[in-house]
Amino acid sequence: MRALAPPRHVAIIMDGNGRWAKERGLPRTLGHRQGVEAVRRAVRTAIELKITYLTIFSFSSENWKRPADEVDDLMGLMKRFIRRDLVELHEAGVCIRVIGQRQHVDSELTKLIDDAVELTKGNNLLTLVIAFNYGSRTEIAGAARKLAAEVAAGKLDPSAITVERMANALDTSGIPDPDLLIRTSGEMRLSNFLLWQTAYSEFVFLDCYWPDFDKAAFEGAIHEFRSRERRFGGLTQRSTA
């Protein structure tokens, strides 16, 4: 069996920051800070491996249920990541795209996100998609409302609602579906992440916590992906090349 080509698009559920910290007797906030370092490593590795899309689950819409001080720290980390890394990412040719809702996000962070997206929109070496305040069910419901509004306005016939049109109404419009989804920390579920987009993705679940995710772990997941046979419901292998 011929090995698959490297994945074009990798999505990552970055899980285990809190447990990483707890096992070391450290505050959860320090686990999140170490998680940001792992993000930086993942971006560098994606560039080295010539992956063209990397999507990371930064903040779930369900994460608002966490203690207020932890939520504030996560918001602060997002701000610091943009302020510290934006110039380097831009110079490296990284295009930043942020998906998710803007509700509850303060105006300072919203402006930082908008400025980062605007500055890097012309870059094409790697598209870094940050799922922030994101929930897939909310995304799908929003896409359905968009199409329903077009139908109600007489601009769209219901029979014209296809899989492709639905996909174009999602936050990820224009982004290819992930070939590979990686989740760290040993958990084996999607947690409301890219439910539509991962219909035919390969899943790799790693036991390591996200702060320990390094180049070797990334390359190991890629190796596992390339060893598989993807059929997409058919009988023959299809490459992602």
Contacts of 174 (CB under 8 A, 6+ apart): 168
DSSP state of 25: T
Is 17 in the active site?
A: no
Q: How far is CA 5 from the centre of its chain?
A: 21
- Of the candidates 193, 171, 189, 201, the one whose C-alpha atom is nearest the C-alpha of residue 60 is 193
Q: Give the distance between the most distant pair of CA atoms in the chain.
A: 60
Is 73 in the active site?
A: no
Helix, coil or strand: residue 113: helix
Strand partners, 11: 55, 181
**Catalytic site residue from 63, 123, 168, 192:** 63
**Catalytic site residue from 15, 73, 85, 171:** 15
Catalytic residue set: 15, 63
